[in-house]
Chains A and B, each alone.
Chain A
Amino acid sequence: MSSGNLRVQKISGHAGPVAGEGTQRQEQVCKLIDTTTCIGCKACEVACMEWNDLPFGETVFDNTYQTMPETRWNYWNLIKFNEHPREDGSMQWLMRKDQCMHCADPGCLAACPADNAIVQYQNGIVDFQQEYCIGCQYCVTGCPFNIPKFNPQTKKMFKCTLCTDRVSQGLEPACIKACPTGCLHFGTKDDMKELAGARAQQLREHSGYANAGVYDPVGVGGTSVIYVLHDITNPEAYGGLPSDPRVPWAVRIWKQPLKWLGNLAMIGGLIGVTMHYLRFGPKKVKDDE
Protein backbone atom coordinates (compact mmCIF):
# COMPACT_ATOMS: atom_id res chain seq x y z
CA MET A 1 0.00 0.00 0.00
CA SER A 2 1.18 3.47 -0.79
CA SER A 3 2.32 5.16 2.33
CA GLY A 4 2.48 8.70 0.98
CA ASN A 5 4.14 10.97 3.48
CA LEU A 6 3.62 8.65 6.43
CA ARG A 7 6.65 7.58 8.40
CA VAL A 8 7.03 4.34 10.19
CA GLN A 9 7.43 3.97 13.92
CA LYS A 10 7.34 0.19 14.27
CA ILE A 11 8.46 -2.53 11.85
CA SER A 12 7.85 -6.23 12.07
CA GLY A 13 10.78 -8.67 12.12
CA HIS A 14 13.22 -5.83 12.10
CA ALA A 15 16.72 -5.68 13.57
CA GLY A 16 18.09 -2.32 14.44
CA PRO A 17 16.57 1.12 14.71
CA VAL A 18 13.38 2.15 12.94
CA ALA A 19 13.94 4.82 10.37
CA GLY A 20 10.89 6.94 10.96
CA GLU A 21 10.63 6.77 14.72
CA GLY A 22 10.29 10.22 16.23
CA THR A 23 11.10 11.96 12.98
CA GLN A 24 7.71 13.40 12.27
CA ARG A 25 5.17 15.53 14.04
CA GLN A 26 2.18 13.28 13.65
CA GLU A 27 -0.97 12.90 15.66
CA GLN A 28 -2.58 9.55 16.15
CA VAL A 29 -5.57 9.19 13.88
CA CYS A 30 -8.69 7.36 14.92
CA LYS A 31 -11.89 5.99 13.50
CA LEU A 32 -14.92 6.24 15.76
CA ILE A 33 -17.74 3.78 15.22
CA ASP A 34 -20.92 4.59 17.08
CA THR A 35 -22.73 1.24 17.03
CA THR A 36 -25.83 2.92 18.45
CA THR A 37 -26.37 4.78 15.20
CA CYS A 38 -25.27 2.05 12.81
CA ILE A 39 -28.12 0.94 10.57
CA GLY A 40 -26.29 -1.93 8.93
CA CYS A 41 -26.66 -0.39 5.49
CA LYS A 42 -23.29 -1.78 4.36
CA ALA A 43 -22.31 1.44 2.60
CA CYS A 44 -18.94 1.08 4.33
CA GLU A 45 -18.58 -2.43 2.93
CA VAL A 46 -19.24 -1.20 -0.57
CA ALA A 47 -17.00 1.84 -0.19
CA CYS A 48 -14.17 -0.40 0.98
CA MET A 49 -14.65 -2.75 -1.97
CA GLU A 50 -14.83 0.16 -4.39
CA TRP A 51 -11.96 2.27 -3.13
CA ASN A 52 -9.63 -0.69 -2.90
CA ASP A 53 -10.90 -2.25 -6.12
CA LEU A 54 -11.27 -5.57 -4.34
CA PRO A 55 -12.43 -8.48 -6.47
CA PHE A 56 -15.89 -9.92 -5.80
CA GLY A 57 -16.25 -13.17 -3.95
CA GLU A 58 -19.07 -15.60 -3.64
CA THR A 59 -21.43 -15.39 -0.70
CA VAL A 60 -24.15 -17.74 0.43
CA PHE A 61 -27.36 -17.06 2.34
CA ASP A 62 -26.70 -17.96 5.96
CA ASN A 63 -29.89 -17.09 7.84
CA THR A 64 -28.64 -13.58 8.50
CA TYR A 65 -28.37 -10.14 6.95
CA GLN A 66 -24.62 -10.29 7.49
CA THR A 67 -22.78 -10.45 4.18
CA MET A 68 -20.43 -13.24 5.23
CA PRO A 69 -19.37 -14.93 8.47
CA GLU A 70 -16.10 -13.03 8.82
CA THR A 71 -13.85 -10.67 6.88
CA ARG A 72 -11.91 -12.11 3.97
CA TRP A 73 -8.61 -11.30 2.29
CA ASN A 74 -10.69 -9.42 -0.28
CA TYR A 75 -13.35 -8.15 2.12
CA TRP A 76 -11.84 -6.01 4.83
CA ASN A 77 -14.88 -4.32 6.25
CA LEU A 78 -17.85 -6.33 7.47
CA ILE A 79 -20.86 -5.32 9.52
CA LYS A 80 -21.68 -8.01 12.02
CA PHE A 81 -25.38 -8.43 12.78
CA ASN A 82 -26.40 -9.87 16.11
CA GLU A 83 -29.85 -10.40 17.55
CA HIS A 84 -29.58 -9.84 21.25
CA PRO A 85 -32.51 -10.63 23.55
CA ARG A 86 -32.99 -8.32 26.49
CA GLU A 87 -34.24 -9.18 29.93
CA ASP A 88 -37.58 -7.40 29.48
CA GLY A 89 -38.42 -9.64 26.52
CA SER A 90 -37.62 -7.01 23.94
CA MET A 91 -34.62 -7.36 21.72
CA GLN A 92 -31.77 -5.48 20.25
CA TRP A 93 -30.35 -5.90 16.79
CA LEU A 94 -26.74 -5.01 17.22
CA MET A 95 -24.71 -4.01 14.21
CA ARG A 96 -21.00 -3.53 14.40
CA LYS A 97 -18.61 -2.67 11.64
CA ASP A 98 -15.75 -5.12 11.96
CA GLN A 99 -12.33 -4.35 10.53
CA CYS A 100 -8.73 -3.99 11.65
CA MET A 101 -8.59 -2.15 14.97
CA HIS A 102 -5.13 -0.70 14.34
CA CYS A 103 -3.87 -1.47 17.84
CA ALA A 104 -1.26 0.72 19.43
CA ASP A 105 0.42 -2.51 20.47
CA PRO A 106 -0.30 -4.65 17.43
CA GLY A 107 -0.16 -8.39 18.02
CA CYS A 108 0.18 -9.04 14.29
CA LEU A 109 3.29 -6.93 14.13
CA ALA A 110 4.72 -8.57 17.23
CA ALA A 111 4.17 -12.01 15.79
CA CYS A 112 5.40 -11.26 12.28
CA PRO A 113 8.87 -12.60 11.44
CA ALA A 114 9.19 -10.85 8.09
CA ASP A 115 11.20 -7.66 8.06
CA ASN A 116 8.94 -4.78 6.99
CA ALA A 117 5.89 -6.93 6.22
CA ILE A 118 3.90 -5.10 8.88
CA VAL A 119 4.54 -1.51 9.80
CA GLN A 120 2.97 0.93 12.14
CA TYR A 121 3.00 4.52 11.00
CA GLN A 122 3.46 7.40 13.35
CA ASN A 123 -0.23 8.20 13.06
CA GLY A 124 -1.06 4.77 14.47
CA ILE A 125 -2.10 2.99 11.28
CA VAL A 126 -0.94 -0.61 11.16
CA ASP A 127 -0.37 -1.58 7.55
CA PHE A 128 0.59 -4.76 5.76
CA GLN A 129 3.25 -4.48 3.06
CA GLN A 130 2.40 -7.46 0.90
CA GLU A 131 5.67 -7.33 -1.04
CA TYR A 132 7.54 -8.26 2.14
CA CYS A 133 4.98 -10.72 3.45
CA ILE A 134 6.13 -14.33 3.52
CA GLY A 135 2.66 -15.77 4.04
CA CYS A 136 3.48 -17.49 7.35
CA GLN A 137 0.24 -16.16 8.89
CA TYR A 138 1.80 -15.63 12.30
CA CYS A 139 -0.08 -12.32 12.26
CA VAL A 140 -3.29 -14.33 12.54
CA THR A 141 -1.90 -15.88 15.69
CA GLY A 142 -0.92 -12.49 17.03
CA CYS A 143 -4.24 -10.76 16.33
CA PRO A 144 -6.86 -10.84 19.10
CA PHE A 145 -9.55 -9.67 16.65
CA ASN A 146 -9.31 -12.27 13.86
CA ILE A 147 -8.50 -9.74 11.19
CA PRO A 148 -5.59 -10.70 8.93
CA LYS A 149 -6.70 -12.99 6.13
CA PHE A 150 -4.66 -15.18 3.79
CA ASN A 151 -4.85 -15.07 0.03
CA PRO A 152 -4.13 -18.66 -0.98
CA GLN A 153 -3.22 -17.65 -4.53
CA THR A 154 -0.57 -15.10 -3.70
CA LYS A 155 0.28 -16.48 -0.25
CA LYS A 156 0.06 -12.98 1.18
CA MET A 157 -1.91 -11.51 4.03
CA PHE A 158 -4.45 -8.74 3.65
CA LYS A 159 -6.55 -6.52 5.89
CA CYS A 160 -7.96 -3.03 6.26
CA THR A 161 -5.29 -0.42 5.59
CA LEU A 162 -7.29 2.34 7.26
CA CYS A 163 -7.08 3.76 3.75
CA THR A 164 -3.45 4.68 4.22
CA ASP A 165 -3.39 6.05 0.71
CA ARG A 166 -6.29 8.40 1.47
CA VAL A 167 -5.27 9.33 5.00
CA SER A 168 -1.73 10.17 3.93
CA GLN A 169 -3.26 12.69 1.53
CA GLY A 170 -5.44 14.24 4.18
CA LEU A 171 -8.65 12.42 3.30
CA GLU A 172 -10.82 10.34 5.58
CA PRO A 173 -11.01 6.57 4.97
CA ALA A 174 -13.49 5.47 2.31
CA CYS A 175 -15.84 3.82 4.82
CA ILE A 176 -16.14 7.07 6.78
CA LYS A 177 -16.86 9.00 3.61
CA ALA A 178 -19.67 6.62 2.67
CA CYS A 179 -21.45 6.37 6.03
CA PRO A 180 -24.90 7.95 5.68
CA THR A 181 -25.89 8.30 9.31
CA GLY A 182 -22.75 9.82 10.75
CA CYS A 183 -22.20 6.65 12.72
CA LEU A 184 -18.59 6.76 11.54
CA HIS A 185 -16.23 9.59 12.39
CA PHE A 186 -12.57 10.16 11.70
CA GLY A 187 -10.10 12.48 13.34
CA THR A 188 -7.38 12.56 15.93
CA LYS A 189 -7.50 10.01 18.69
CA ASP A 190 -8.03 12.71 21.29
CA ASP A 191 -10.92 14.27 19.41
CA MET A 192 -12.55 10.93 18.76
CA LYS A 193 -12.24 9.90 22.38
CA GLU A 194 -13.91 13.11 23.43
CA LEU A 195 -16.70 12.69 20.88
CA ALA A 196 -17.19 9.07 21.86
CA GLY A 197 -17.22 9.92 25.54
CA ALA A 198 -19.85 12.60 25.03
CA ARG A 199 -22.02 10.25 22.99
CA ALA A 200 -21.74 7.52 25.59
CA GLN A 201 -22.73 10.01 28.26
CA GLN A 202 -25.73 11.09 26.19
CA LEU A 203 -26.77 7.46 25.83
CA ARG A 204 -26.49 6.92 29.57
CA GLU A 205 -28.39 10.06 30.47
CA HIS A 206 -31.03 10.27 27.76
CA SER A 207 -31.49 6.95 26.05
CA GLY A 208 -31.66 4.60 28.97
CA TYR A 209 -28.43 2.76 28.20
CA ALA A 210 -26.96 2.80 31.68
CA ASN A 211 -23.91 0.83 30.60
CA ALA A 212 -23.09 2.77 27.46
CA GLY A 213 -19.39 3.27 27.06
CA VAL A 214 -16.38 3.58 24.82
CA TYR A 215 -14.43 0.57 23.65
CA ASP A 216 -10.75 1.46 23.45
CA PRO A 217 -9.11 -1.65 24.91
CA VAL A 218 -6.06 -1.01 27.06
CA GLY A 219 -4.88 -4.59 26.66
CA VAL A 220 -3.52 -3.74 23.23
CA GLY A 221 -2.47 -0.25 24.22
CA GLY A 222 -5.68 1.29 22.92
CA THR A 223 -6.78 1.16 19.30
CA SER A 224 -7.04 3.55 16.39
CA VAL A 225 -10.58 2.28 15.87
CA ILE A 226 -12.86 2.86 18.84
CA TYR A 227 -16.48 1.95 19.40
CA VAL A 228 -19.37 3.45 21.28
CA LEU A 229 -21.34 0.49 22.61
CA HIS A 230 -24.81 0.43 24.19
CA ASP A 231 -23.38 -1.93 26.78
CA ILE A 232 -19.67 -1.72 27.38
CA THR A 233 -19.88 -4.63 29.82
CA ASN A 234 -20.83 -7.04 27.06
CA PRO A 235 -18.81 -6.43 23.92
CA GLU A 236 -19.01 -10.13 23.03
CA ALA A 237 -22.66 -9.58 22.10
CA TYR A 238 -21.48 -7.47 19.16
CA GLY A 239 -20.32 -10.38 17.05
CA GLY A 240 -17.49 -11.56 19.25
CA LEU A 241 -15.77 -8.32 20.12
CA PRO A 242 -13.35 -9.48 22.86
CA SER A 243 -13.99 -7.87 26.22
CA ASP A 244 -10.31 -7.70 27.10
CA PRO A 245 -8.25 -8.20 23.97
CA ARG A 246 -4.57 -8.72 24.43
CA VAL A 247 -1.73 -9.88 22.32
CA PRO A 248 -2.00 -13.61 23.13
CA TRP A 249 0.28 -14.70 25.98
CA ALA A 250 1.60 -17.45 23.75
CA VAL A 251 2.88 -14.80 21.34
CA ARG A 252 4.26 -12.76 24.20
CA ILE A 253 6.15 -15.76 25.65
CA TRP A 254 7.31 -16.83 22.23
CA LYS A 255 8.55 -13.43 21.18
CA GLN A 256 10.08 -12.40 24.49
CA PRO A 257 11.22 -14.81 27.26
CA LEU A 258 11.36 -17.84 25.03
CA LYS A 259 13.35 -15.98 22.43
CA TRP A 260 15.88 -14.61 24.87
CA LEU A 261 16.18 -17.90 26.69
CA GLY A 262 16.67 -19.62 23.38
CA ASN A 263 19.28 -17.15 22.27
CA LEU A 264 21.10 -17.56 25.56
CA ALA A 265 20.89 -21.32 25.31
CA MET A 266 22.20 -21.41 21.79
CA ILE A 267 25.05 -19.04 22.47
CA GLY A 268 25.71 -20.84 25.79
CA GLY A 269 25.86 -24.14 23.95
CA LEU A 270 28.38 -22.84 21.46
CA ILE A 271 30.52 -21.32 24.19
CA GLY A 272 30.19 -24.54 26.22
CA VAL A 273 31.50 -26.82 23.52
CA THR A 274 34.30 -24.38 22.71
CA MET A 275 35.33 -24.29 26.38
CA HIS A 276 35.13 -28.06 26.52
CA TYR A 277 37.44 -28.40 23.55
CA LEU A 278 39.91 -25.92 24.99
CA ARG A 279 39.93 -27.71 28.32
CA PHE A 280 39.76 -31.37 27.31
CA GLY A 281 40.41 -31.52 23.59
CA PRO A 282 39.77 -34.56 21.48
CA LYS A 283 39.60 -38.08 22.76
CA LYS A 284 42.53 -40.30 22.06
CA VAL A 285 42.21 -43.68 20.52
CA LYS A 286 44.22 -46.19 22.48
CA ASP A 287 45.94 -48.74 20.43
CA ASP A 288 46.39 -51.33 23.21
CA GLU A 289 46.83 -54.35 20.96
Chain B
Amino acid sequence: MNDPILRYTLVERVMHWIAAVAFCYVLATGLAFYSPHLYWIATLLGGAPTSRFWHPWLGVVFAATLFWMLKAWLGDMRITPADRKWGDSMQHYIRNEDENLPPIDRFNIGQKYFFWGMLWAGIVLLLSGAVLWFPELIPWSLRGLRFAAVLLHVSSALITIGLFIIHVYMGTAVVRGGFTSIIRGEVSPAWARTHHRLWFQRVTGK
Protein backbone atom coordinates (compact mmCIF):
# COMPACT_ATOMS: atom_id res chain seq x y z
CA MET B 1 0.00 0.00 0.00
CA ASN B 2 2.96 2.26 -0.35
CA ASP B 3 2.29 3.00 -4.00
CA PRO B 4 3.10 6.59 -4.93
CA ILE B 5 0.18 8.93 -5.40
CA LEU B 6 -0.10 11.18 -8.51
CA ARG B 7 -0.01 14.74 -7.29
CA TYR B 8 0.58 16.64 -10.58
CA THR B 9 -0.46 15.46 -14.02
CA LEU B 10 1.98 15.77 -16.89
CA VAL B 11 0.07 18.77 -18.23
CA GLU B 12 0.28 20.49 -14.87
CA ARG B 13 4.02 19.86 -14.67
CA VAL B 14 4.62 21.15 -18.17
CA MET B 15 2.53 24.19 -17.38
CA HIS B 16 4.50 24.84 -14.22
CA TRP B 17 7.85 24.54 -15.89
CA ILE B 18 6.96 26.77 -18.78
CA ALA B 19 5.92 29.36 -16.23
CA ALA B 20 9.04 28.75 -14.21
CA VAL B 21 11.44 29.12 -17.12
CA ALA B 22 9.64 32.20 -18.42
CA PHE B 23 9.60 33.70 -14.97
CA CYS B 24 13.27 33.06 -14.40
CA TYR B 25 14.10 34.70 -17.70
CA VAL B 26 12.04 37.80 -17.05
CA LEU B 27 13.34 37.84 -13.53
CA ALA B 28 16.95 37.71 -14.64
CA THR B 29 16.59 40.22 -17.44
CA GLY B 30 14.30 42.36 -15.34
CA LEU B 31 16.90 42.45 -12.58
CA ALA B 32 19.50 43.43 -15.15
CA PHE B 33 17.41 46.45 -16.12
CA TYR B 34 16.52 47.07 -12.50
CA SER B 35 19.98 47.54 -11.14
CA PRO B 36 23.27 48.59 -12.73
CA HIS B 37 24.93 46.10 -10.40
CA LEU B 38 23.06 43.27 -12.07
CA TYR B 39 23.36 44.58 -15.63
CA TRP B 40 25.94 41.84 -16.27
CA ILE B 41 23.10 39.32 -16.26
CA ALA B 42 21.85 40.83 -19.50
CA THR B 43 25.31 40.46 -20.94
CA LEU B 44 25.36 36.82 -19.91
CA LEU B 45 22.00 36.32 -21.54
CA GLY B 46 23.14 37.50 -24.94
CA GLY B 47 23.39 41.24 -24.49
CA ALA B 48 21.11 43.96 -23.26
CA PRO B 49 19.30 44.72 -26.53
CA THR B 50 18.55 41.01 -26.90
CA SER B 51 17.34 40.87 -23.33
CA ARG B 52 15.21 43.91 -23.93
CA PHE B 53 13.77 42.21 -27.00
CA TRP B 54 12.86 38.90 -25.34
CA HIS B 55 11.87 40.18 -21.91
CA PRO B 56 8.38 41.29 -22.97
CA TRP B 57 7.79 38.18 -25.07
CA LEU B 58 8.70 35.85 -22.19
CA GLY B 59 6.57 38.06 -19.98
CA VAL B 60 3.66 37.31 -22.26
CA VAL B 61 4.45 33.60 -22.07
CA PHE B 62 4.54 33.77 -18.29
CA ALA B 63 1.25 35.65 -18.18
CA ALA B 64 -0.30 33.13 -20.53
CA THR B 65 0.69 30.23 -18.31
CA LEU B 66 -0.75 32.09 -15.37
CA PHE B 67 -4.13 32.09 -17.08
CA TRP B 68 -3.68 28.49 -18.05
CA MET B 69 -3.03 27.64 -14.40
CA LEU B 70 -6.02 29.65 -13.39
CA LYS B 71 -8.16 27.54 -15.66
CA ALA B 72 -6.58 24.30 -14.47
CA TRP B 73 -6.48 25.00 -10.75
CA LEU B 74 -9.33 27.40 -10.16
CA GLY B 75 -11.21 24.74 -8.21
CA ASP B 76 -8.20 23.80 -6.12
CA MET B 77 -7.24 27.37 -5.36
CA ARG B 78 -10.49 28.60 -3.85
CA ILE B 79 -9.81 29.69 -0.30
CA THR B 80 -12.14 27.82 2.06
CA PRO B 81 -13.03 28.38 5.73
CA ALA B 82 -10.87 25.36 6.50
CA ASP B 83 -7.95 27.16 4.86
CA ARG B 84 -8.51 30.16 7.06
CA LYS B 85 -8.53 28.01 10.11
CA TRP B 86 -5.28 26.43 8.94
CA GLY B 87 -3.98 29.88 8.25
CA ASP B 88 -4.67 30.92 11.83
CA SER B 89 -2.19 28.25 12.89
CA MET B 90 0.44 29.37 10.38
CA GLN B 91 3.06 29.90 13.10
CA HIS B 92 3.03 26.16 13.79
CA TYR B 93 3.66 25.49 10.13
CA ILE B 94 6.57 27.92 10.09
CA ARG B 95 8.04 26.27 13.17
CA ASN B 96 7.62 22.83 11.60
CA GLU B 97 5.06 21.94 14.31
CA ASP B 98 2.83 20.44 11.66
CA GLU B 99 1.17 18.14 14.17
CA ASN B 100 -0.63 21.19 15.57
CA LEU B 101 -2.14 22.02 12.19
CA PRO B 102 -5.58 21.02 11.04
CA PRO B 103 -5.66 18.68 8.04
CA ILE B 104 -5.69 20.41 4.66
CA ASP B 105 -6.66 19.59 1.08
CA ARG B 106 -4.50 19.59 -2.05
CA PHE B 107 -3.06 23.09 -1.45
CA ASN B 108 -2.63 24.95 1.77
CA ILE B 109 -3.47 28.60 2.13
CA GLY B 110 0.17 29.65 1.64
CA GLN B 111 0.25 27.94 -1.71
CA LYS B 112 -3.06 29.54 -2.59
CA TYR B 113 -1.84 32.98 -1.56
CA PHE B 114 1.23 32.38 -3.70
CA PHE B 115 -0.95 31.45 -6.64
CA TRP B 116 -3.26 34.44 -6.34
CA GLY B 117 -0.37 36.76 -5.62
CA MET B 118 1.45 35.63 -8.72
CA LEU B 119 -1.72 35.88 -10.78
CA TRP B 120 -2.63 39.42 -9.77
CA ALA B 121 0.94 40.68 -9.86
CA GLY B 122 1.28 39.00 -13.22
CA ILE B 123 -1.75 40.84 -14.54
CA VAL B 124 -0.33 44.14 -13.33
CA LEU B 125 3.03 43.27 -14.87
CA LEU B 126 1.34 42.39 -18.12
CA LEU B 127 -0.63 45.64 -18.34
CA SER B 128 2.17 47.90 -17.20
CA GLY B 129 4.55 45.91 -19.36
CA ALA B 130 2.44 46.61 -22.40
CA VAL B 131 2.85 50.34 -21.79
CA LEU B 132 6.59 49.92 -21.34
CA TRP B 133 6.80 47.71 -24.40
CA PHE B 134 5.38 50.33 -26.79
CA PRO B 135 5.87 53.71 -25.12
CA GLU B 136 6.21 55.35 -28.52
CA LEU B 137 2.48 54.82 -28.95
CA ILE B 138 1.67 56.77 -25.79
CA PRO B 139 1.14 60.44 -26.66
CA TRP B 140 2.97 63.03 -24.60
CA SER B 141 -0.31 64.18 -23.08
CA LEU B 142 -0.85 60.70 -21.61
CA ARG B 143 2.64 60.43 -20.18
CA GLY B 144 1.10 59.76 -16.75
CA LEU B 145 0.46 56.25 -18.02
CA ARG B 146 4.17 55.72 -18.40
CA PHE B 147 4.86 57.00 -14.91
CA ALA B 148 2.23 54.64 -13.48
CA ALA B 149 3.59 51.80 -15.57
CA VAL B 150 7.17 52.00 -14.35
CA LEU B 151 6.10 52.18 -10.73
CA LEU B 152 3.56 49.37 -11.00
CA HIS B 153 5.88 47.19 -13.03
CA VAL B 154 8.68 47.45 -10.52
CA SER B 155 6.42 47.15 -7.46
CA SER B 156 4.57 44.13 -8.73
CA ALA B 157 7.81 42.55 -9.90
CA LEU B 158 9.20 42.95 -6.40
CA ILE B 159 6.11 41.23 -5.01
CA THR B 160 6.57 38.32 -7.38
CA ILE B 161 10.24 38.10 -6.43
CA GLY B 162 9.31 37.83 -2.76
CA LEU B 163 6.74 35.16 -3.54
CA PHE B 164 9.23 33.39 -5.77
CA ILE B 165 11.88 33.22 -3.06
CA ILE B 166 9.41 31.67 -0.59
CA HIS B 167 8.02 29.34 -3.20
CA VAL B 168 11.38 27.96 -4.25
CA TYR B 169 12.60 27.72 -0.68
CA MET B 170 9.50 25.91 0.52
CA GLY B 171 9.31 23.64 -2.48
CA THR B 172 12.91 22.56 -2.39
CA ALA B 173 14.41 22.99 1.07
CA VAL B 174 11.56 22.81 3.53
CA VAL B 175 9.01 20.47 2.09
CA ARG B 176 11.19 17.64 0.89
CA GLY B 177 9.52 15.74 -1.89
CA GLY B 178 7.74 18.75 -3.19
CA PHE B 179 10.37 19.40 -5.85
CA THR B 180 10.28 15.76 -6.97
CA SER B 181 6.53 15.94 -7.19
CA ILE B 182 6.60 18.82 -9.65
CA ILE B 183 9.14 16.94 -11.72
CA ARG B 184 7.88 13.37 -11.62
CA GLY B 185 4.34 14.17 -10.48
CA GLU B 186 4.26 11.63 -7.64
CA VAL B 187 4.44 11.78 -3.87
CA SER B 188 4.55 9.03 -1.28
CA PRO B 189 1.35 8.29 0.66
CA ALA B 190 3.14 9.35 3.83
CA TRP B 191 4.07 12.70 2.28
CA ALA B 192 0.51 13.21 1.18
CA ARG B 193 -0.88 12.24 4.52
CA THR B 194 1.52 14.50 6.36
CA HIS B 195 1.09 17.61 4.26
CA HIS B 196 -2.30 17.33 2.65
CA ARG B 197 -4.26 14.84 4.70
CA LEU B 198 -7.70 15.77 3.37
CA TRP B 199 -6.43 15.50 -0.20
CA PHE B 200 -4.82 12.15 0.64
CA GLN B 201 -8.08 10.90 2.04
CA ARG B 202 -9.98 12.21 -0.95
CA VAL B 203 -7.78 10.65 -3.60
CA THR B 204 -7.14 7.34 -1.77
CA GLY B 205 -10.52 7.02 -0.12
CA LYS B 206 -8.83 6.23 3.19
A–B in direct contact per CB < 8 Å: yes
Residues of A within 8 A of B190 (CB): 285-289
In contact, B33 and A136 (Cβ under 8 angstroms): yes
Interface stretch (choices A2-10, A90-98, A272-280): A272-280
In contact, B174 and A277 (Cβ under 8 angstroms): yes
B13 an interface residue at 8 Å Cβ cutoff?
A: no
How far in angstroms is the closest Cβ of chain B from A239? 12
In contact, B162 and A265 (Cβ under 8 angstroms): yes
In contact, A254 and B52 (Cβ under 8 angstroms): no
Residue of A nearest to B178 (CB): A283
* Separation of A261 and B188 alpha carbons in the complex (Å): 41
A281 an interface residue at 8 Å Cβ cutoff?
A: yes
Partner of A281, one of B96, B98, B148: B96
B176 an interface residue at 8 Å Cβ cutoff?
A: yes
In contact, A266 and B193 (Cβ under 8 angstroms): no
Residues of A within 8 A of B48 (CB): 114-115, 132, 134
In contact, A273 and B175 (Cβ under 8 angstroms): no
In contact, B140 and A146 (Cβ under 8 angstroms): yes
In contact, B96 and A284 (Cβ under 8 angstroms): yes
* Separation of A152 and B32 alpha carbons in the complex (Å): 23
A253 an interface residue at 8 Å Cβ cutoff?
A: yes
A113 an interface residue at 8 Å Cβ cutoff?
A: yes
* Separation of A14 and B39 alpha carbons in the complex (Å): 8
Partner of A141, one of B37, B135, B162, B175: B135
In contact, B150 and A135 (Cβ under 8 angstroms): no
A84 an interface residue at 8 Å Cβ cutoff?
A: no
* Separation of A259 and B33 alpha carbons in the complex (Å): 11
A70 an interface residue at 8 Å Cβ cutoff?
A: yes
Interface string of A43-74 (1 = CB under 8 A from B): 00000000000000000000000000010000
Residues of A within 8 A of B98 (CB): 283, 286
Interface string of B166-204 (1 = CB under 8 A from A): 100100011111000000000011110111000000000
Give chain B's interface residues, CB within 8 Å of chain A.
1, 32-37, 39, 42, 48-49, 51-53, 94-96, 98-99, 132, 135-136, 140, 143, 146-148, 150-151, 154-155, 158, 161-162, 165-166, 169, 173-177, 188-191, 193-195
